[in-house]
Every structure is written in C-alpha cells, then in structure tokens.
A and B are shown apart, each in its own frame.
Chain A
Amino acid sequence: NAGVTQTPKFRVLKTGQSMTLLCAQDMNHEYMYWYRQDPGMGLRLIHYSVGEGTTAKGEVPDGYNVSRLKKQNFLLGLESAAPSQTSVYFCASSYLGSTEAFFGQGTRLTVV
C-alpha cells in the first residue's frame, strides 16, 4: 500500500517552461488536494477536487491548473513557470467526510 505518491520528487525549471506534477493515491479517496509550502511558512491550498472530473480553487490558484480525469490521480500543471512558483508542493487525499488527510512526500520545484 503506497498511500500518496508524488512524481517527480525534484525538478528545476527555467522561467516560462511548463510542467505537470502527478499525484497518485491507492486508497480510493474521493478528495484530493494540492498545496504549496514556501520556506518557513505553512501550507497553502492551491486547488482541490471532491471527485473524479471535478476541481475547485483554493487560496492561491493563480498560475496553476489541475485535472482529475481518474479518481486515483490529481495533476497539477504550471503553464508558464515563474520564479515565484519556487516551492515545495504537497499532494494529499482523504475520504469523503473523513477528518484525516494523507500527504505525499512532496515535490521540490525550483524555477530559475
């Protein structure tokens, strides 16, 4: 049982490049989330999904897009990366109505 798996773990992008971060969970959770964490700060919610085919904006959605074509996967896309998007990105998932979210190990992204 892998839990929540994020791919890749590290990435360096040049300004203006695009990339997609993949989050996969094998717990059949309905809810999935993407967060970013800047140095010395707490996590901020980017986007979330309450089920396959649905997505919604969180606190800081600008510059990101997401898709949830399959229940087990939640993709985070950066169409034109900016240095301000340098951060550690965390994916999480949870059951509908559950109070416990499970987090991945994070993706460290640097935009130069």
Chain B
Amino acid sequence: DAKTTQPNSMESNEEEPVHLPCNHSTISGTDYIHWYRQLPSQGPEYVIHGLTSNVNNRMASLAIAEDRKSSTLILHRATLRDAAVYYCIPKSNFNKFYFGSGTKLNVKP
C-alpha cells in the first residue's frame, strides 16, 4: 500500500475554503484516492474518492495532480462541524483501508 504524507494540523476560519493536501508519491496505477474524516469521539466517515479526474460531491471536492502523486481535499466553506481529523487513503479495489495519522483541522468561528 502506498505511503502518505499529510500535515499534522491545519487551521481555518469559518465560512472560508480549506485545502487539505496529501502526498502519495508511491501510489500505484490502480489505487483510488480516498478521503475519510473522523469527528471527535466518533468513527471515521467517508468523504470522497477519485482515481484520476477531479471529483465533487455535496461534502467536498477532490483535486488530483496529473501525475497522481498528490491530491487536495477542498472544503469550499468550512463550518465548525468540519473540525475533524482528515485521512487520505490510497488503496486498490481490494477492500482494506490503511489509515495514517491524518490532518487535524481546526475551524475558528
């Protein structure tokens, strides 16, 4: 499985966009890039995933570099409820999720 590098923590102001980066330089051609988040005292929850093209859903956008060695999760307007640890997980179709230490996002009112 590909190794990932994410900032330990980031801070954002409420209602502003947030860009959470992830480096995954050893990603294989078949690995999808997944993002999960973990709200305080809860289990992780799915946010978004993609392979090569940028992806959008109701929660966030995922921008994937052309060489696929990095990606960025974009929260368009951060809210206090978005304060969580965000995990970037490259994985193949076989269902095993390996979590790193993630990025702790703090949202200031």
Contacts and interface: CB of A to CB of B under 8 A. Distances in A.
A54 to B, nearest CB: 13
B17 to A, nearest CB: 24
B32 A103 contact: no
A33 B41 CA distance: 19
A112 interface: no
A48 interface: yes
A90 B99 CA distance: 12
A100 B59 CA distance: 14
A48 B43 contact: no
Nearest to B44: A103
The number of chain A residues touching the other chain, given as a range, is 20 to 34
Given A94-B95, A105-B42, A42 B87 contact: yes
A96 interface: yes
Interface in A61-106: 90, 92, 94, 96-106
Interface in B9-47: 32, 34, 36, 41-46
Contact of B43 (A41, A50, A99, A104): A104
Interface string B48-85: 01000000000000000000000000000000000001
A48 B97 CA distance: 10
Interface of B: 32, 34, 36, 41-46, 49, 85, 87, 93, 95-102
18 contacts: A42-B99, A42-B100, A42-B101, A43-B44, A45-B96, A45-B97, A48-B96, A92-B97, A96-B95, A97-B93, A98-B95, A99-B32, A101-B36, A101-B44, A103-B42, A103-B43, A105-B42, A105-B43
